């Protein structure tokens, strides 16, 4: 997967953002630069939250926190928050997220309605499994049905009898043999139902539920947001909005629509998009997808003592829920030991099968290329991990992890996260990766992260001139206000 383009009209400090990432560039590492306060961190967090949390109800709280302060203009029924273009299996896919006023949604999309539709969908899947009816171009025909609903709505609202008859004829002419099969009706029945438009709309909605096995998306459009559609489609084109998210802290509901990419099915968005978006940043960063009151603990005092520890505790709980979120913590020695044991066991298993394996040695060699002047070795039972100065040829002096610099520990933590979380074919967003690294390593990190996981795309929010010079000038993307040249 590759993120080709990000468009953000107006979100916090981000205004009229339109950034393109080139798929044919090597390495696929794109520094993102601006002055302090330019919105780089907000840019990364918005991408991560919308794409990682919108397709999993257990993550909606983080969407709600991120979007809590977003305000729709009073005269707007909807507004685009962000639009993303991906390259997925050779096809361009667009995902656009809209805030739709609750004044429009309320009364149409009540939660009890949604639960009823979910139950209907469950039943419909059972019906589909039992059905042997073959209809040519079924999916195309199903996608045409919402257009009929628009025509029936026009029929309901039309006052002149002559125009009503014209609309009825248009509806009848729209159907053919296969469309009647989809609807489960005959021409005669449709003509009769035209006298009762609401009944015809209900029948079409039921058929959409029956044949769509991927959620309540089309029904959401029809039952829940016809008014919103008029805004989104300017009354001309039918727009499918896939899902509403009821955000507890917001005065709007969040919808998304998918365009293009026939290979990417709506039911797979969670696994092929959401789970392929990662965010890494400093432990001391302010993350807006954390609850606002808990973010304030970062700056509060209690009895003269800072409450920053409360914020860090919440940050840890957040990482447990958002497993694709990582902070540049001090490297876990337990994690290192676990990898050593894993590689050692792989070698033993290979020997028992009369195969050759040097997995432990290969891992050690790669690991020892990371730190400039230190080697890393476990003891024989892999109960401890030691760090040795490479200049000490007899390896007489072993260092504990606390003897390493912050930059060394950070470099190791990034390596272990990327390599042993098996992050592949993903979009990895990293904020201020250069912190605590000396100038040479700031240049080197851009090359190393891609060498460690070459199937990934990296977007690095940075203030580092050295990091930006590690790639071509065309790789570097900028947000206003742009940094001084």
Per-residue pLDDT of the chain (485 residues; tens, 9 = 90+): 999 999 999 999 999 999 999 999 999 999 999 998 889 999 999 999 999 998 887 888 898 899 988 888 776 777 889 999 999 999 999 998 888 776 666 544 444 444 554 555 455 445 544 444 444 444 545 556 666 777 788 888 888 888 888 888 888 877 766 667 667 778 888 888 888 888 887 777 666 655 543 333 333 334 334 444 443 433 333 333 444 555 666 777 787 888 888 888 877 888 899 999 999 999 888 999 998 887 887 777 666 665 667 778 888 889 999 999 999 876 667 778 888 888 899 899 998 888 888 888 888 888 888 877 778 888 888 888 887 777 765 554 556 666 777 888 888 889 989 988 889 999 999 999 998 888 999 999 999 999 999 999 999 999 999 999 999 999 999 998 776 55
DSSP 8-state symbol, 384: -
The token pair at 431 is 């904020």
The confidence score (pLDDT) of residue 227 equals: 42
Chain position carrying tokens 């891609």: 450
Phi, psi of 81 (to 5 degrees): -90, -50
The confidence score (pLDDT) of residue 342 equals: 87
C-alpha 483, offset from chain centre: 28
Where do the H-state alpha helices sit in 131-214? 138-157, 161-174, 177-183, 187-193, 197-211
Chain position carrying tokens 């400090």: 13
Give the chain's radius of gyration (CA, Å): 28
The confidence score (pLDDT) of residue 25 equals: 95
Q: How far apart are CA 213 and CA 478, in angstroms?
A: 42
β-bridge pairing 277-281 and 427-431: parallel
The confidence score (pLDDT) of residue 150 equals: 75
Q: How far apart are CA 21 and CA 30, in angstroms?
A: 8
Among 334, 328, 333, which residue's Cα sits nearest to residue 411? 328
Contact between 462 and 443 (Cβ < 8 Å): no
C-alpha 415, offset from chain centre: 23
The answer to whether the Cα torsion of 86, 88, 92, 93 is positive or negative is negative
Between the CA atoms of 176, 182, 187 and 190, what dihedral angle is there, to the nearest 10 degrees? Answer: -130
The CA distances from residue 160 to 12, 151, 166, 167, 269, in Å, are: 48, 15, 10, 11, 45
Chain position carrying tokens 């993307």: 477
The confidence score (pLDDT) of residue 156 equals: 83
Contact between 437 and 407 (Cβ < 8 Å): yes
Contact between 445 and 466 (Cβ < 8 Å): no
Chain position carrying tokens 């990296």: 458
C-alpha 62, offset from chain centre: 12
The percent helix, strand, coil of the chain (3-state, each to 5) is 45, 20, 35
Buried b (16+ CB within 10 A) or exposed e, 97-135: bbbbbbebbeebbeeebbeebeebbeebeeeeeeeeeee
Contact between 379 and 386 (Cβ < 8 Å): yes
Buried b (16+ CB within 10 A) or exposed e, 406-441: ebbbbbbbbbbbbeeeebeebbbbbbbbbbbbeeeb
The confidence score (pLDDT) of residue 112 equals: 45
The confidence score (pLDDT) of residue 279 equals: 97
| Neighbour count for residue 169 (Cβ, 10 Å) | 11
Q: How far apart are CA 261 and CA 93, in angstroms?
A: 5
Q: 386 - beta bridge partners?
A: 377
Inter-helix orientation angle 439-452/406-420, to 10°? 10
The token pair at 257 is 């629509």
Task: Say which residues have a Cβ less than 8 Å from residue 476's Cβ, sequence separation at least 6.
Answer: 30, 31, 32, 33, 468
Q: How far apart are CA 22 and CA 286, in angstroms?
A: 29
- 3-state DSSP assignment of residue 13: coil
pTM, two decimals, is 0.72
DSSP 8-state symbol, 221: I
The CA distances from residue 321 to 47, 62, 277, 315, 438, in Å, are: 17, 10, 14, 10, 33
The token pair at 100 is 């739709």
């Amino acid at each position: 997967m590759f993120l080709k383009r990000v468009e953000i009209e107006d979100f916090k400090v981000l205004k009229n953002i339109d950034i393109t990432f080139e798929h044919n560039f090597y390495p696929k590492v794109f520094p993102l630069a601006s002055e302090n306060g330019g919105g780089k961190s907000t840019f990364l967090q918005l991408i991560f939250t919308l794409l990682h949390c919108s397709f999993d109800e257990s993550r909606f709280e983080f969407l709600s926190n991120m979007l809590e302060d977003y305000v729709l203009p009073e005269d707007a029924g909807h507004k685009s928050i962000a639009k993303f273009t991906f390259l997925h299996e050779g096809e361009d896919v667009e995902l656009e997220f809209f805030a739709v006023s609750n004044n429009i949604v309320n009364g149409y999309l009540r939660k009890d309605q949604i639960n009823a539709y979910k139950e209907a969908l469950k039943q419909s899947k059972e019906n589909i499994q039992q059905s042997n009816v073959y209809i040519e171009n079924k999916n195309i025909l199903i996608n045409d049905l919402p257009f009929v609903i628009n025509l029936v709505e026009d029929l309901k609202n039309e006052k002149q009898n002559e125009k009503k008859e014209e609309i009825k004829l248009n509806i009848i002419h729209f159907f053919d043999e296969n469309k009647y099969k989809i609807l489960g009706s005959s021409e005669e029945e449709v003509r009769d139902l035209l006298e009762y438009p609401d009944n015809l709309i209900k029948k079409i909605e039921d058929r959409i539920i029956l044949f769509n096995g991927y959620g309540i998306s089309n029904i959401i459009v029809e039952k829940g947001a016809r008014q919103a559609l008029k805004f989104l489609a300017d009354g001309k084109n039918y727009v499918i909005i896939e899902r509403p998210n009821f955000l507890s802290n917001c005065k709007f509901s969040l919808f998304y629509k998918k365009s293009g990419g026939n290979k990417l099915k709506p039911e797979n968005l969670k696994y092929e998009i959401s789970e392929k978006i990662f965010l890494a940043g400093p432990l001391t960063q302010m993350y807006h997808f954390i609850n606002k009151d808990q973010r304030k603990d970062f700056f509060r005092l209690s009895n003269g003592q800072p409450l920053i520890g409360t914020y860090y505790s919440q940050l840890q709980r957040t990482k447990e829920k958002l497993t694709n979120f990582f902070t540049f913590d001090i490297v876990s020695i337990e994690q290192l030991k676990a990898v050593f044991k894993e590689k050692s066991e792989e070698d033993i298993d290979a020997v028992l099968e009369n195969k050759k394996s040097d997995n432990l040695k290969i891992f050690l060699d790669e690991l020892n290329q990371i730190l400039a002047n230190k080697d890393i070795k476990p003891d024989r039972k892999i109960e401890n991990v030691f760090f040795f100065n490479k200049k000490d040829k007899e390896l007489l002096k072993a260092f504990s992890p606390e003897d390493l610099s912050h930059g060394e520990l950070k470099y190791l933590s990034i390596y272990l996260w990327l390599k042993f979380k098996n992050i592949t074919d993903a979009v990895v967003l990293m904020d201020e990766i250069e912190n605590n690294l000396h100038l040479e390593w700031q240049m080197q990190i851009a090359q190393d992260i891609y060498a460690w996981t070459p199937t990934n795309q990296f977007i690095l929010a940075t203030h580092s001139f050295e990091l930006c010079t590690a790639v071509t000038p065309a790789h570097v993307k900028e947000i206003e206000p742009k940094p001084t040249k």
